[in-house]
Structure 1
Amino acid sequence: MRHRTPLTAAASAALALGLWAAPAEAQAPEGIAAFETDGGTLAVTAPSELATLPALVPEREDFAFLGDAGDLVWVAGTVDGTTYPTLDASAADGDLTLGLDKVEGPGDAWLYTFTGPGLARPLASTADGDTFDLAAGTTAVVVLAVDEPGDYTIELRARQDASGHGSTPTGHAQTAAATAVTTYALTAEETTTEEAALIAADPAGDGNAQAAASCEVIADGHIDVGPRFVDGEWTVQLRDDRASESVWRDLEDVVLQVPDTALFPIPEGDYGFLGEPGQEIYMLPQVQAPGIVWPGWNTQDASVIEAVPGPVDWNLQAVDGPGAFTLFLTGTFGGAEVLFDSSQTLPQTIAVPENTHAHGNFTFAEAGVYRLTAEFTATTADGETVSDTKDLQLAVGDATDPNEACSGDGSGSGDSDDVGKDDDGGFLPTTGTGWLLWGLGAAAIAVVVGAVIMAATRKRRSTEDADAS
């Protein structure tokens, strides 16, 4: 029995934004296949031949469907090793069910895509006959791969179901089932693993279509930056809450990717520090938004709660990037409380109260690579001053390659953590359907935000008073 995997409109839209560790962008204009329907007729337009590149299966569990780590595969359809074509159903008037059939060839073929967190996701293969659904009006970035050298003829089958699943996006009911097939011819040239590795290592060549950034690229979901004690050492890390079990990661091994969908117009009012009203800036909002990473900060790790009885100073030491960076809070009545503004003299400091978790608006004036140098300092119950400085790395804008922002080598794979609790009762949030922040949690957030605002205000006033004296 064939298994069907739905590729929802939301997933397709997210994939089209290039939310993978290496920037997977749609190949304009034709893609790998474009589907058009007119009543009961379904037509597929596609290139008849696809070029291939040899690649090595990464040492990642999500690529296990292609074989063991280090196995040779050949990927088809990629333009330059990082730009991939699309399945385009933007003109279709009904949802499509797609699958692969092998007419001839020495091995099997897989069609796969990438989820928002950057994980490979198989869609269909000639090995098991799986099919998947592509919603009408959407596109999906895809990769076609084969596992043996030789000549292949592969069919992509598309079916549009008859009426019975509701109206189409345009409001017109489907009238009849329709099917269509397009055929791809491709050749996987004989090569060795050494030659494939050389292609991957050659930055001026075609590249390796499987090569991921050394860093973990986070483009969606909840993360926090904060201090904790690791093997007795005060360490600033990033808490990754995208999976059911949270992971603390080293900041040099993480890049936050900010897509063009994070462009927002500057509103009227107390926002002159951002620029002129109506001018667009990149913003990671204080309230979680779908398809955009949601960064916050916390001092809630159990080791911090146990050892540090007072606030933690968060010092913004430097900002390296093409434009200004700000972090501000939206108040109860819509006003802005600026915590950090890189257009002003640095360093700047706020005091984060103990056992605090909060979110704000992170803004970036221009697209490009940013590194925010942050120092977290505190005094332990024993009177010892502890401090650590790390860079938060960001790739802002669809055209910015996350690899350019990565300074790590991926060696810091992260430490798992219990979700939703710590030993001293501090609440550590998770994301997903259960993380209903706004509304039910508004009162709690207001308390946390109020505490941070007061602490930041006191800190700034004390600094100003010292300067005045």
Structure 2
Amino acid sequence: MRPHRMAALAGAAALAAGLHAAPANAEEAEGLAEFATSGARLKIDAPSELETVPSLVPERGDFAFLGAPGDLVWIAGTVDGQTFPTLDAAAVDADVRVSLAKTEGPGDAWLYTFEGAGTAAPLASTAVGAPFTLTAGTTTPVVLAVDEPGEYTLELVATEDQAKGTVAATGRGQATTAARTTYSLTAEEITTEEAQAIATDEQPNSGGAQAGTSCEIIADGHIDIGPRFVDGAWTAQLRDDRAAESVWRELDDVVLQVPDTALFPIPEGDFDFLGETGQEIYMLPQVQASGIVWPGWNTQDPSVIEGVPGAIEWNLAKVDGPGEFTIFLTGTFGGAEVLFDSSEALPQTVSIPRNTHAHGNWTFSEPGVYRLTVEFTATTGDGETVTATKDIQLAVGAAVDPDEACSGGGSGDTDPGGGDEDDNGFLPTTGTGRLLWGLGAAAVAVIVGAVIMIATRKRRKGAADAG
């Protein structure tokens, strides 16, 4: 087997399970295209070659444009199923119309993105040929897929209407400024059985259950903490998005494991609430980092959207652990907006709009076992106030046995798929989306579905206790 095919197959397992299960932060995947205007000319900077990995079409209606469930497709640009290339129009003043054409290749190609809570949305295909509009000043995560093995040459065409400041069509026969680039990619032969075997038998653990523990140990991948109604009862659970189908788990049956690779030095600036500059702390970053669990908070469950007309109060009631705990947001110019800080009086509360999915920086000053007691309080449409109190369990540091943090005894499985077809899969990055210190990568753009994360921040009892 040729070396580049070996590399592609090595990434196929993560892709097959994570095709639509992970956010696109584009830190590692090479950008599909970066558009820029220089005077009256439109310019595209893009790589000429894209790597591909095989995968199977998932059993979801929004992916039907790729084929029937289980059909083979080859995905270009991403090697891990978690970081996707982008169409970057951040530097463009006018909207851009983009089309995809095939100059050679045995099959068809699709370019698609995601909408809302993760619904796949086709943008363009070689079968249809219609262009789509890319809004000026935006960055869109995309997936490029082909449906047959072989060698392809694909052409991406962008057009801009010089007169109107927007794009009119594909540029043919009209007074437009056009720019184009070509991509070469190879989809290597593989059977459906081989792709399925890779996905099921050779997929890396990614922080799954470990031998000798009674809890699900999560050390990598995307998860969210949030409230929901289960059989009519208000509760708080953990949504596990590491596999192709999301699973809601009971919090006392899950331990989040934080490795030593999550140690970052405290930078200079507005970070004195974390400790002294240069001191190392454990951090689960606001922007997804490879090999580190990526926790967020989520009020997008359909039961919440339908049953709660207003915001949800998220309360940090207690922190049990050897050190201090914080959650803060990275600001537009690199500053910090502190949401929770256990060095100050508890409880502390933030107000989260419903239908919100967001991420922040979670930090721990010392290694050890932590239990974060959180409460989610809301008022239903019937005027009833409901509160759910649960513990988030963490094992911080490589020397800490995650089983020591486990208080539950089950697998944590409560509701495969979350009970809603439209709410599974890809969850977009939300929040400020700026580069985090310590990651050493290019700046990360805000992508689909950005929301205002925090409406208010209060310290109810804390302020009284401090006084």
TM-score, normalization by structure 1:
0.51
Change (3 A) 1:312 1:432: closer
Gaps of 5+ in 2: 12-200, 435-442
1:430 aligns with 2:430: no
TM-fit CA distance, 1:244: 0.5
For residues 270-349 of structure 1, the aligned pairs below 5 Å read 270-349=270-349
Deviation at 1:420, TM superposition (A): 9.3
Q: What amino acid is aligned across from residue 285 of structure 1 in structure 2?
A: P
On the 8 A contact 1:265/1:281 being kept in 2, the answer is yes
Instruction: Please state how far the C-alpha of 1:441 moved relative to its aligned partner.
Output: 6.0
Q: Does 1:442 align with 2:446?
A: yes
2:326–2:340 Cα contact (<8 Å) kept: yes
* 1:51-90 equivalences in 2 (<5 Å): none
CA displacement at 1:117 relative to structure 2: 2.4
Contact 1:311 1:354 in 2 (8 A): yes
* 2:326/2:338 contact within 8 Å kept: yes
Within a 5 Å distance, the mapping from 1:245-260 to structure 2 comes to 245-260=245-260
Indicate yes or no: 2:373 matched with 1:377: no
Q: Could you tell me which amino acid in structure 2 is paired with residue 282 of structure 1?
A: Y
| CA displacement 1:133-172 (0-9 Å, x = unmatched) | xxxxxxxxxxxxxxxxxxxxxxxxxxxxxxxxxxxxxxxx
**In the alignment, is the contact (CA less than 8 A) between 2:258 and 2:293 conserved in 1?**
yes
2:191 maps to none
Structure 1: state its 5+ residue gaps. 12-111, 121-209
Query: In the alignment, is residue 115 of structure 1 matched against residue 115 of structure 2?
Result: no
State the Cα deviation string for residues 80-116 of structure 1 (Å, max 9, x = none): xxxxxxxxxxxxxxxxxxxxxxxxxxxxxxxx99934
| CA offset digits 1:404-442 (Å, max 9, x no partner) | 0000101542211269964xxxx6663799xxx887860
CA distance in 2, matches of 1:341, 1:440: 26
RMSD: 3.6
Q: Secondary structure at the match of 2:452?
A: helix
* Structure 2: distance between partners of 1:307 and 1:267: 42
Give yes or no for the alignment of 1:455 onto 2:456.
Answer: yes
**1:356 correspondence with 2:360:** no
How far residue 455 of structure 1 moved from its aligned partner, in angstroms, is 2.0
For the residues of structure 2 that align with 1:227 and 1:385, how far apart are their CA atoms? 13
Alignment partners' CA distance in 1, 2:206 and 2:227: 24
Find the aligned partners of 2:256 and 2:420 in 1 and give their Cα distance. 23
Contact 1:267 1:278 in 2 (8 A): yes
Instruction: Please state whether the residue corresponding to 1:403 is helix, strand or coil.
Output: helix
What secondary structure, in the 3-state scheme, does the structure 2 residue paired with 1:261 have? helix
Q: What letter is aligned with 1:218?
A: I
Cα distance in 2 for partners of 1:346, 1:384 equals 25
Q: Which has the larger radius of gyration?
A: 1
Name the structure 2 match of 1:219: 219
Contact 2:218 2:254 (8 Å CA) reproduced: yes
Equivalent residues of 1:358, 1:445 under 8 A apart: no
Conserved? CA contact 2:327–2:340, under 8 Å = yes
Counterpart residue identity of residue 296, structure 1:
G
CA–CA distance in structure 2, aligned partners of residues 420 and 232 of structure 1: 15
Are the equivalent residues in 2 in contact too, given 1:300–1:428 (CA < 8 A)? no
Name the CA shift for 1:349/1:119 in 2 (closer, same or farther; >3 Å).
closer
Give yes or no for contact 1:222–1:430 (8 Å, CA) kept in 2.
Answer: no
The count of corresponding residues between Structure 1 and Structure 2 is 266
Matched residue type, 1:283? M
C-alpha separation in 1, matches of 2:366 and 2:239: 26
Alpha-carbon distance, 1:212 to partner:
3.0
Aligned-pair identity in percent equals: 67
Aligned partner letter, 1:241 = D
Q: TM-score, normalised by structure 2?
A: 0.51
- Tell me, yes or no, if the aligned pair for 1:313 and 1:378 is still in contact at 8 Å: yes
What amino acid sits opposite 1:455 in the alignment? T
**Contact 1:117–1:217 under 8 Å retained in 2:** no
The whole-number CA distance in structure 2 between the counterparts of 1:465 and 1:345 is: 7
Compared with structure 1, are the counterparts of its residues 421 and 284 closer, same or farther at alpha carbon in structure 2 (3 Å cutoff)? farther
For residues 273 and 119 of structure 1, what CA distance do their matches in structure 2 show? 33
| Greater RCO (CA < 8 Å, at least 6 residues apart) | 2
Instruction: Tell me: CA distance 1:464–1:321, structure 2 relative to 1, closer, same or farther (3 Å).
Output: closer
